[in-house]
A and B are shown apart, each in its own frame.
Chain A
Amino acid sequence: MEIPAGDEFYFQWHLTERCNQRCAHCYHESYASSGELTLADLKAVFFEMERALHAWNRIGSFSLTGGEPFMRREELFALMERLDSSDVVGYYDILTNGSLLSAEDVRSMSRAPKLRRVQLSLEGPSAASNDAIRGAGAFNRTLAAIDQLKDEGVEVAVMTTITKRNKDSLPELLDLLASHRVDTFAMERFIPEGSGAEIHDSMLTPREARETFELVHALGVAERRLRVLMYRPLFALVDSEDPTVGAMCSVGTNALTVMHDGTVYPCRRLPIPLGHVLRDGLFKIWYDSDFLWRVREPANLEDCGSCDLAAVCRGCRAMAYSTSGDCCGPDPHCWRSQKCTA
């Protein structure tokens, strides 16, 4: 069956929308975090996730995030304990800006059996390039957090949101990450949504996107110091043979995002409410959403529907939605699409 696909099901779980930073490209529109779930409700959410994973016979992978998840330290560690002891959890990651980590937090994370990685973000290889997006001091705080985590043996990933401003500095950034013992690097394309809508002109052109994907692929193939993750739509355009390059957009196939108030989205970057995790339940959301069924049918996807790479790509549905207003529209950066001028 096509849904859910594969052996894993991924939940991106936002514990809060509160954050101590204000990044210019953030997908959040508001940091008010109204309707945050209590710890008891968060545990009920996890029970619902476990129930779904059991019924679907899938192993769960999770990202615990926010906002800044360490704004809810107590709840975060309580959930980690639950995830660590669950038979349907394969692993989980924590996505944090790193600025609130205490030495004790890092030690606790190093002992969490199912914590795979802690993911931090850097937008460039210098304080000037990073802090222009993430705020004064963020660069040094992030590097300090990376060092602290590595000193305790925690695996670290760094994510960069690619814009016109930082696309050329990736080789330098990888050198920096390697020198700080970072384990993996991944990139996301900037999507002009949330707070990021105000810097709409930072979005890559199709030609720049193509150059960036080719550059990251070349760096990834040559890189021996850290792993460059290329499990993303469009990478298959650069190399469709290597199974570690390219991945299908997971909207409607094997992922859901649960927000701080229990609202469920198909993906955090695709803020279309599908229902409420506790009030509606995951079975109703997953099986009965017209939105998800529309996206699941390849024939509904403009350009991708007739593309032989659809099984490993399908474009980014959030990018399509943000730029065309239709989640089934074309990914504007795809250089195979007839409309592309790259």
Chain B
Amino acid sequence: MSFFNPKAASSKTVAKHALDPALQPWVEKYRPKTIDDVSAQDHTVAVLQKTLTSTNLPHMLFYGPPGTGKTSTILALSRQLFGSPDNFRNRVLELNASDERGIAIVRDKIKNFARQTPRAQAVASDGKTYPCPPYKIIILDEADSMTQDAQGALRRIMETYARITRFCLVCNYVTRIIEPLASRCSKFRFTPLDPSSSSLRLSHIATAENIHVDSVVIDTLINTSNGDLRRAITYLQSASRLSSSTDPPTPITSVDIQEIAGVVPASVINEFANVLGVDVGDIMDIGNPVKKSSFESIRNKVKELMREGFSATQILSQLHDLIILHPTLSGRHKSLCAHIFAEADKALCDGADEELWILDVGLRVCKAITT
């Protein structure tokens, strides 16, 4: 199979044809090149800095939500240790969920790489010297998609070849990594990016790209991306493309960002809440507050929302915020609703039908706050 063929599996054939930088996606263009470039994650960066000057590196487990810098950090660290591409190729093995990683591969490919004695340092073609410590690194990105069996087979390998091979497991959900593996690793938690780090990074990119972005727009980017920097960067690039392609170019607005991010307009959520009998009078002017909600009215509203194609998870999260932060609803009502939202979130994660569940949320919220 072609992906076992190391020539096909490496990305170097691809990298040769450098892209026109103007067309390069910013998420890749501004992927941190060194661990110093990694925003936030201060603790992780500080610890890893030290490993650059010593020859010691523990097995590591990186975990945290999407777009927080896990993959970037380990790739940057490996590059700083070995220098790309010269030593990188025979010192670093990167496998991710797109590679076959069943138990057979663990026993075969991973083990073979793990037991090779690290080759002597080659002269770096860029003339720099790299620490090139006497071990290899195996990066198992997206490790939470590996089966339990395959993870189990890693245990021995990690121990046996620990002297010459270090593992770095990367995942979103640390609970999906079996305990014996997790306990062999130093754990590094990647947190959603805090607003000030995100803001700095986004402004840095905006300056480098020579575009003007208001601070209001940056705030919107941060609010809509929930600490996922990759998403914020994608939104920014798309918005900038859209605004620069109009004639004459227009500045990027918060509304553009919300539209791109798939945020449901506040007026739509308010109307929905109104139909459920939530008092939205002081939040927004809606002509006629609903006096009595009926099954019919709620169902029709839900059908309308579905026709608009809004994502159920997005509706749920915005309705949740509206109710939980509501100025006058009682604590008891809010806790009843919180329970309903939690159940619906779980169901949607399990792949439930969106219409049935938004309807159920609507009907139950309505009942909860009117009794």
* A and B part of one assembly: no
Q: B residues touching A (Cβ–Cβ < 8 Å)? A: none
Q: A residues touching B (Cβ–Cβ < 8 Å)? A: none
